Amino acid sequence: MEEKREIKRIDENRIIIEKHGKMNVDGIVYVDEELFRALSKDESLKQVENVACLPGIVGASYAMPDIHWGYGFPIGGVAAFSVEEGIVSPGGVGYDINCGVRLLRSDIEAKDVGERIREIVDMLFSNIPSGVGSHRKDFKLSKEDLKKVAREGAKWAVDRGYGKKEDLQRIEDGGIIAGADPETISDKAYERGRDQLGTVGSGNHFVEVGYVKEIYDERIASAYGLFLGQLTILIHTGSRGFGYQICDDYIKEMLKASEKYGIYLPDRQLCCAPVKSEEGRRYLSAMAGAANYAFANRQMITHWVRETFEQIFGQSSEKLGLEVVYDVCHNIAKIETHRVGGKDVKVCVHRKGATRAFGPKEKLLPEKYREFGQPVIIPGDMGRASFVLCGTQKAMEETFGSTCHGAGRLMSRNEAIRSAKGRQIKKELEEKGIYVRAATKDTLLEEIPDAYKDVSSVVKVVHNAGISKLVAKIVPLGCIKG
């Protein structure tokens, strides 16, 4: 008979699921009472427990306030596994490998844009393909080209004129995850990825134009290049069909590996292999290739965003001040060194629907941000706000340098479509001053603001818990959706 789950509140922003049954560590969820009540709708807390059962897990099985049900691991889940004794699991990364978000700042003031927002959004929609299966008709890569993308990431795009070398300094890991081996990637993945580079895709992916409505920390905002009333651009997309296929391929491989190595799985979706095994090495190499594809994807979209603004404003992107603030991964597994039990330990950190949030003085951060901590970019839904935060030392001590990644869904896509039946979502958003273009009507229905938790509530928890610090609030003016 399974032991009963015991949940206790640690403080206003955290609960603990105490270790029981086959759990190797506790589960810790960053959530206040309001957000906790929403968790009764799915099995995400059970997934936190399941992850805690995997071999070699250290610290705790963590989840962020945007937690909701996912494949194997909950979305919003963070777990670190000893490189020596632990595992790597595709379910701890997800299908959209390195789904992530990039923030661009500008010297343009939102008050000077006015009705031109329609022109901007229409031209972005024309210049950047979006939607299910979206691809560039004028841009197809050979398998050999894609192998280079998988190895070189954003640098591949910059070397071919899609952006500037300075962009690379403001991307997590410089836009290249080390260790990618193109030979660990299937022909089917290469076929799916050959014409999708430089595209937004579908679902919750978007390119959004907004402006800085509030500043919470003037000093850090200034260091990030942000000011009140400033026009900004958010790019949220990932590795498209390329990453999806890589995940799909390796789930099949990991199901066999779990059996081969005698790993107990409370849920088959947690299939995994030891980090040091051949299967583990192959997955990490292929995953790095997909992550690098995603970095190149956001880099190319950045280039087309800059071109769009140059066409509309008749000035160079340099004169318009269109610079990358930062680019972060959401779905990734990384080998990092963290302090565990008073010792520096090499661990494989899974962040699934979670953002790296490294604190001040970390050497992996750009020098200009090192004094303050890493920029953390939290996109909201298309009708509310997004936030910029910074990483903290407390995140380094408590969550392996991790925080939330977005609002987190309350409804499935089908539920959202049923809920929005008969509503004119585009018109509702326009009444709020937000102009939206989408590839299909269903995209707007499944991405209604009601389908998500209020991102303001989510970031309040991580700020109050001290694992990231509020810097600025950005509200949308216009958006293109898949």
Specify the pLDDT at position 354: 97
What does the pLDDT read at residue 1? Answer: 36
Q: What range defines the domain where residue 363 resides?
A: 7-481
User: pLDDT-based confidence at 463, cuts 50/70/90?
Assistant: very high
Residue 182 resides in a domain: yes
Q: pLDDT per residue over 162-186, tens digit each?
A: 999 999 999 999 999 999 999 999 9
The domain that holds 362 is classified in CATH as 3.90.1860.10
Q: What are the pLDDT digits (tens) for 432-447?
A: 888 999 877 777 777 7
* Model pLDDT for residues 185-230, shown as the tens digit of each residue: 999 999 999 999 999 987 789 999 999 999 999 999 999 999 999 9
Are 455 and 387 in contact by the 8 Å Cβ rule? The answer is yes
pLDDT at 395: 98
Rounded Cα distance between 328 and 172, Å, is: 6
What integer pLDDT is reported at residue 3 of this predicted model?
64
Residue 276 maps to a domain: yes
350 pLDDT band (50/70/90 cuts)?
very high
Domain presence at residue 279: yes
Q: Write out the chain in H/E/C secondary structure.
A: CCCCCCEEEEECCEEEECCCCCCCCCEEEECCHHHHHHHHHCCHHHHHHHHHCCCCEEEEEEEEEEEECCCCCCEEEEEEEECCCCEECHHHCCCCCCCEEEEEEEEEEHHHCCCHHHHHHHHHHHHCCCCCCCCCCCCCCCHHHHHHHHHHCHHHHHHCCCCCHHHHCCEHHHHCCCCCCHHHCCHHHHHHHCCCCCCCCCCCCEEEEEEEEEECCHHHHHHCCCCCCEEEEEEEECCHHHHHHHHHHHHHHHHHHHHHCCCCCCCHHHCCEECCCHHHHHHHHHHHHHHHHHHHHHHHHHHHHHHHHHHHHCCCCCCCCCEEEEEEECCEEEEEEEEECCEEEEEEEEEECCEECCCCCCCCCCHHHCCCCCEEEECCCCCCCEEEEEECHHHHHHCCCEECCCCCECCCHHHHHHHCCCCCHHHHHHHCCCEEEECCHHHHHHCCHHHECCHHHHHHHHHHHCCEEEEEEEEEEEEEEC
Residue 55: both structure tokens together: 């071999």
Task: Give the number of domains in the chain.
Answer: 1
Q: Tell me how many degrees the CA angle 48-389-27 measures, rounded to the nearest 5.
A: 15
pLDDT, residue 430, reads: 83
Q: Is residue 101 part of a domain?
A: yes
- Which CA distances in Å does 364 have to 151, 173, 245, 335? 20, 7, 30, 13
* Gap between the Cα atoms of 153 and 291, Å rounded: 8
Prediction pTM value:
0.95
pLDDT for 377-431, tens place per residue? 999 877 789 999 999 999 999 999 999 999 877 777 777 778 777 788 788 888 8
Burial (CB count <10 Å: 0-12, 13-18, 19+), residue 283: buried
1 part of a folded domain: no
β 343-352/100-109 pair status: unpaired
In a domain, 127, yes or no: yes
Average the pLDDT over each of 137-146, 324-333, 334-343 and give the range with the smallest value: 137-146
Does residue 346 form part of some domain? Answer: yes
Of the listed ranges 16-20, 32-36, 113-117, 442-446, the least confidently predicted one is 442-446
Q: What is the pLDDT of residue 42?
A: 81
- For 70-84, write each residue's pLDDT tens digit: 999 999 999 999 999
In sequence order, the 6+-apart residues with CB closer than 8 A to the CB of 2 are 21
Rounded Cα distance, 113 and 135, in Å: 30
Structure confidence at residue 248 (pLDDT): 97
For the segment 322-335, the average pLDDT, to the nearest whole number, is: 97
- % of the chain at pLDDT higher than 90: 82
Taking each helix axis from N to C terminus, what angle separates 278-313 and 143-152, rounded to the nearest 10 degrees? 90
Task: Give the burial class of 384: count Cβ atoms within 10 A of its Cβ; 0-12 exposed, 13-18 middle, 19 or more buried.
Answer: middle
* Per-residue pLDDT, 380: 85
The residues assigned a catalytic role are 405
